[in-house]
Amino acid sequence: MKNLFKTLIVVLALTTTVDSFSQIRITGVDPNQNLVFIRNYGTTTVDITNHILSSKLTNFTVGSMTVIAGNPSALGSMQTAWVQGGSLDAAGADLALYVPGTTDFNNTSNLLDFVQWKSGGHGREAVAVNKGIWTAGDFVCGNPTYTYNGNGGTVDYGVSHWNGTGCTTSIDEANGGEKLTIYPNPAKDVLNVTIASNVAVLSYRLINILGEVVLESNQNYSNEKLSLDISSLPKGQYAFVVNTVSEVITKKVLITQ
């Protein structure tokens, strides 16, 4: 029970609570303890007991699981239910969330959320890829608890919004303030960067969630506007990292090609 309490504290602390999209989402998974965290990002109370979870093609309802915390039968706005049950493979598996009454698990309209850990290609991955909420082969690295750090928004899907213990697949934003302005964001073909007059840029890099540098420059800039061609880059979340004479500034960038 002590470990269960620690897991609850970690997931509740890492779950963001600032969006109003009407969605039920998976916000944490600990396969070592068969624990699942489900959050209501909508504005009204929802009964999620008949929502269906699927892991490695084995299906079970939320209502069939043991309630550890929260109220799945009346899950309020921005509340999280903590349930335990099913059989989750800690060595590598998926977890998909479906609407109540689902019989056709290949129908993307029935799929609400998806995550997989340790390795790719599990269970309902193909359905999630077809729906556009996951990329084939992606998985959350590290160890449990696997935690969602998005806002429940329509673009906050995919491995870039999940972290494992000892391994980070999301891109964190740090520093910068108004020293660096990036727009539009999300971006499609061109990313504009405006540099404040009091900032001397030594170099910049655009990095994907795998840590690969996809754009870079070692030219010095100050009080300038840059227009970067990103038309050839795949959609996803990136980090724009700028080295200045005094600090490193990191900005999140979402590309939507």
Residues in the chain: 257
On whether the pTM is more than 0.85, the answer is no
Phi, then psi, of 140 in degrees rounded to 5 = -80, 130
Q: Is the Cβ–Cβ distance between 88 and 34 less than 8 Å?
A: yes
Residue ranges of the chain that CATH labels 2.60.40.3080: 180-255
CATH class of 180-255: mainly beta
Q: What is the pLDDT of residue 19?
A: 33
pLDDT confidence band for 14 (50 / 70 / 90): very low
Phi, then psi, of 108 in degrees rounded to 5 = -65, -20
Residue 15 has pLDDT above 90, yes or no: no
Q: For 23-74, what is each residue's pLDDT tens digit?
A: 899 999 999 999 999 999 999 999 999 999 999 999 999 999 999 989 999 9
The residue-averaged pLDDT of 126-148 equals 89
Euclidean distance between CA atoms 116 and 158, whole angstroms? 10
Euclidean distance between CA atoms 255 and 234, whole angstroms? 7
User: Helix (H, G, I), strand (E, B), or coil: what is residue 143?
Assistant: strand
* DSSP one-letter string for 32-72: TTTEEEEEE-SSS-B--TT-EEEETTEEEEGGGSEEEES-G
